Chain A
């Protein structure tokens, strides 16, 4: 109930805009040795007195479908969705009633640094982000289950595509309020580069042997250097790349501060005692307002398709079936739009975690991460063990579990070579593998159940890393 209320609240916040999500590995939350931990909770303060982050990369792929959902095992046999024995109820259970989502996110940290400033800690970073979401309607899979039967309706309105690239300038500050409570915030200036987003409010396909009809209402928004020209025949508008863009034009376009946006992360950490600490963070409350290189499509209406019209007096009968396909493709009238501003929001993430220190080198932690989407939430839990046997090396070993998903093994480690730190974090490490043989082709190490992969890796220069603020060093 509470989760539903919270998700409602964020749906209102998300408003009518479209949202994309960027995700860090959950193991980063409790990796105190990695300065980037302040990204997931602004109240988490890096251990080093000063750090400079060198280029690092983060990647996340997430989907609702694993290979095993598409290739079902019954007994010792395997079945595809086109086969009779395939159980579609299991597939719909995996993908959900409405839609199945795929997310791909990538982040490149170009430059960053942080330092202690009195009691507070200041962090700064510049990063490049690419985030995309593809939503496939569940009814799409009904095509292979039932086809296009007479007098039926397929709901494709959950179809969505949202993708954007933007620059982020982050300024973070954390400060202990008292001995127990530390708060922090990251202020992020966002500047959009390219974006495309769909807002499909209605997309029904009614099928029948005398008429198909498309009942559609939706928009496609775009901010990219292309020109959308309406086609006088009301076919799909022509999209042309703006010509004569040279390297310097691209640099100018993408280096400028256009399509501005803003986001904020808020975090807090409460240390009950030497062992127990609880923390929470609410990240990615923000948006980008797209107002340059705007273009898009609008479609609305009910478009019947009754096949080709063949006039025996004039048509010569060549390619009637090609004409049938062409006719189907041009059924929906699109109109290109120019100058329609739109907003993309970042999908908020709520972290709530607790950490219990068993020994100075070992702690266990539990983390909840809730991602808020326009159409719902995704809930993940992480139970991990944090180890720092030596000052120059630290590990995080955990188990990640998703609601309506699978359970995965995750890990992270960081190692210092002098001030140079290398770190690698990964949630959802595929540890179950199968060898897949299709006809004569063998593919080893196929993670059949894998739905998500996340990792972050990079280099930092950390100075004064052994220092603890108000905490003794490990020996």
Chain B
């Protein structure tokens, strides 16, 4: 019975297992893609939006240290300012060290010596004389004269013949006053000494000349005994080293071809410009403010020079009017000076088009003083310092320009093989792709865009945009301001063959070649300039539609 049951069981169990169990066909699968057809699936994805707010982008990204601002109308501009000053000892030629008196108290001018004047070495000879001279006080400039000078220091040192004579010499200089008293001194010569000291401290002295002759008088008389004389001459001279606090007179009409008004204005706005076509900045405003604390009118002949690497680039900057102007003289009341103010404005245009990149603007000035002829001049020091001609230069450069196909090449790092090095198989997965660009251009220029893939040696591998993509310019009004955006729809296609090229030829960079042309029809010269303001922007919506396939190697 039991055996029967066991047999029953074995048959049933064995049958069941035989019915259901079996070895199925082996599965052999290779992840190698050769000979396989993979399903192409679509990938539509919004990549995003690129916004280029013009003002902020230029402000943050333009490689310049110059500050970019906006005016009350929102127009962008850069402003440069430079201040400098000229003292009366520089270039105007009023060097106080050159102020001198032409006076020679040479006895030969005073009359002849007695015939019986014993020579040589005659002692005990008494010699007396009195006289008077008129002496002009002149400056180093021609045709100038001084009517009054105030001294804050300096010396007048008499050179008296104490070596050979004893006796006394009285000297009076009319017009040299300290307060009410004129200068008058009696000098005693004895045994080679002079007393009192022949050095006269000029502090607080004032020297005035005759209004008509512009000379002042020197009176002298002397009674001398010779102690042995090796010379026939008796000379009395004076060494005059003044420290002037004010000077009145007429200082001539010096004409200087060039006076450097100060350092050049340096800028780096154009540092990264790729000057390959005409580019013109307009309505640049040059403002010169002169504060003249010299009592001397001037006539200025100026010019602006655009420099590139310290060399002038001719014809790069043009003014609407010559830079010739007069500087008003200061006025004074009881020694208090009121500066003469002069303001000059000129409009300029900068034209770029050669290979030079300007990096500085020089203001070159030549001129003359007293252009209208003799007129009362003065120079008054304040707090012991020379008064100055202060010059403030301001250059206001609005972003108002025009250009015709200004081509700019920007290089973007795009090491393709490095990007896919983790999964090189990715390059095989893309069948084709379309990058959709939906562009709202609020900028007043048209852009022709090319994207070129290059290898590490700079050789072109593939132009991704043939023909170039055109982004239409925004509409502008007569003043060059944007009034309406312009919409463009562009597509950039990429194929598997191009991807393979990127990989095989080792693309390292993308060159973004953009040709900018400001809006407007006609030739470059007839075009109107456009303005850039802080409301303008460029918005690009980027979308991607691609056909890809997935390969097993991606999951290895």
Contacts and interface: CB of A to CB of B under 8 A. Distances in A.
Interface in B31-57: 31-32, 36-53, 56-57
B37 A212 contact: no
Contacts of A439: 29-32
Contacts of A148: 41-45
Given A84-B38, A209-B436, A448-B27, A308 B47 contact: yes
A268 interface: no
Interface stretch (A103-111, A139-147, A340-348): A139-147
Interface residues of A, number: 63
Nearest to B12: A385
Contacts of A82: 38-39, 549-552
Contact of A389 (B2, B30, B40, B43): B2
Interface string A356-375: 00010110000000000000
Contact of B46 (A86, A212, A361, A395): A212
A438 B39 contact: no
B177 interface: no
Contacts of B5: 359, 361-362, 387, 389
Contact of A310 (B38, B41, B51): B51
Contacts of A313: 52-53, 56-57, 59-61
B551 A409 contact: no
Interface stretch (A12-20, A57-65, A428-436): A428-436
Interface string A236-256: 000000000000000000000
Contact of A309 (B25, B36, B44, B51): B51
A311 interface: yes
Given A146-B41, A209-B543, A397-B13, A309 B49 contact: yes
Contacts of A446: 27
B55 to A, nearest CB: 8
A439 B30 CA distance: 5
B21 A409 contact: yes
User: Which of B17, B31, B47, B548 is packed against the most chain A CB atoms within 10 Å?
Assistant: B47
- Residue of B2, B43, B44, B52 ringed by the most chain A CB atoms within 10 A: B44
A409 B16 contact: yes
B29 A71 contact: yes
Contact of B51 (A85, A145, A211, A311): A311
A308 B48 contact: yes
Contacts of A362: 5, 8
A389 B9 CA distance: 8
B181 interface: no
B28 A145 contact: no
A216 interface: no
Nearest to A437: B28
Given A144-B550, A145-B41, A310 B50 contact: yes
A327 B46 CA distance: 11
A78 to B, nearest CB: 5
A471 to B, nearest CB: 18
A387 B53 CA distance: 85
Given A209-B545, A313-B61, A387-B9, A434 B26 contact: yes
A412 B468 CA distance: 76
B544 A209 contact: yes
B48 A306 contact: yes
A439 B46 CA distance: 37
B24 interface: yes
B478 interface: no
Interface in A135-172: 143-151
B542 interface: yes
Interface string A112-142: 0000000000000000000000000000000
A436 B24 CA distance: 10
27 contacts: A82-B38, A82-B39, A82-B550, A82-B552, A83-B37, A149-B42, A150-B44, A151-B44, A207-B45, A209-B44, A209-B545, A210-B543, A212-B45, A307-B46, A313-B53, A313-B57, A320-B48, A385-B16, A390-B2, A395-B13, A434-B26, A437-B27, A437-B28, A439-B29, A446-B27, A448-B24, A448-B27
Interface of B: 2, 5-6, 8-9, 12-13, 16-17, 20-32, 36-53, 56-57, 59-61, 436, 438, 541-545, 548-552
Given A313-B53, A409-B21, A431-B22, 12 more contacts: A144-B39, A147-B43, A147-B548, A307-B46, A307-B542, A311-B56, A312-B50, A431-B17, A435-B27, A437-B27, A438-B29, A446-B27
Top 6 A-B residue pairs of the complex, sorted by shortest distance between their CB atoms: A307-B48, A147-B41, A313-B56, A431-B21, A308-B48, A209-B543
